[in-house]
Homo-oligomer: A and B are copies of this chain.
Amino acid sequence: MMNPNIVKTVLARRSALVEAHLESCLEDIHMPERLRMAMNYSLLAGGKRLRPVLCLSSASLFGLPETAAMPFALAIEMIHTYSLIHDDLPAMDDDDLRRGRPSCHRQFDEATAILAGDALLTDAFLFMASSGLNLGSGSPLPAGRVLAAIAEIAAAAGSSGMVGGQVLDMECTGQSHVPLDTLRSMHELKTGAMIRVSCTSGAILAGSSPQDTAALHRYGEALGVAFQIQDDILDVTGDTATLGKPAGSDAEEEKTTYPSLVGLDESRRLAAEYADKAASALAGYTGEDADFLRGLANLLVTRNH
């Protein structure tokens, strides 16, 4: 078991690497300045950068250097960011704040926020596809692997994944009783699919075998559940300053959550159970990346923000 402090150090190092690349990733694209400002405003609003770190770590686990997997790590964070911008819109969750700052449509306007989201989503696919082309800057990733990873990510982000989950979430909100099964399916699509594919896409890019990809799939799937339960717990037990978003907002919006359905203690037990399940999925792997990924699962359910 990796020392939790080392897990934090590796996480901080990889987050910082992602952050540095995010800061300049739109620089070379010719676009209207207002659009660039809105895209960068949301993309550079901080956050844990969990998904891109998972992508880099899964790639590294199978021998692909972090820099080679970086276009996919950036693309995954761009897709995550677009989903937050659109979720915050007045017609959706109508949130004025995101990570302690005005949400994109409050800082700019609604039309700009819709378009910044659309552009982040589309440009993400440009980054991914370009990584497999010979553009004269470094050797391209094998085209077949790049295509397979793009297909996985599109499936996880689109109608059968994240967008589908958001539709289910809208259908659940305001309902007096949402069964645990429904809640789990909704989270599996809305947040789980992108966390899972962050892991599998890195492995696929590195040329992992079907068995290895399946192990990362199980890891990412369990990690996503653990992450969501902990998110629900923190909304009850955390404070607004630490969270960077209003604590207690789930209860206020009458959202069904793990704590509201099964109580805090059982939620904590479930979170730990899924974190263990994630770590177990990688039981056969050795080395720093495997230790880090296992340790990260434990870290995520003991985090306080």
Contacts and interface: CB of A to CB of B under 8 A. Distances in A.
A170 B113 CA distance: 13
Nearest to A146: B147
B111 A158 contact: no
Given A110-B91, A122-B121, A129-B154, A167 B34 contact: yes
A122 B163 contact: yes
B121 A109 contact: no
B91 A154 contact: no
Contact of A123 (B36, B147, B158, B167): B158
A280 interface: no
A80 interface: no
B151 A126 contact: yes
A160 interface: yes
- Between A35, A147, A160, the greatest number of chain B beta carbons within 10 A of the residue's beta carbon is seen for A147
A112 to B, nearest CB: 7
A26 interface: yes
Nearest to A158: B122
A144 interface: yes
A29 interface: yes
Contact of A86 (B112, B114, B160): B114
A164 B31 contact: yes
Contact of A150 (B89, B92, B110, B150): B150
Interface residues of A, number: 52
Contacts of A30: 160
Contacts of A91: 109-111, 114
- Between A82, A123, A146, A167, the greatest number of chain B beta carbons within 10 A of the residue's beta carbon is seen for A167
A171 interface: yes
B32 A118 contact: no
Given A35-B167, A167-B112, A147 B122 contact: no
B29 A159 contact: yes
Contact of A163 (B26, B118, B125, B158): B118
A121 B121 contact: yes
A6 to B, nearest CB: 37
A133 interface: yes
A130 interface: yes
A119 interface: yes
Given A31-B164, A126-B151, 14 more contacts: A31-B160, A31-B167, A35-B159, A39-B159, A86-B118, A91-B109, A91-B111, A119-B159, A119-B163, A125-B125, A126-B154, A126-B158, A132-B144, A143-B143
Interface of A: 26, 29-32, 34-36, 39, 82, 86, 89, 91-92, 109-112, 114-115, 117-119, 121-123, 125-126, 129-130, 132-133, 143-144, 146-148, 150-151, 154-155, 157-160, 163-164, 166-168, 170-171
9 contacts: A26-B159, A29-B160, A31-B159, A31-B160, A115-B167, A119-B164, A129-B154, A132-B147, A143-B144
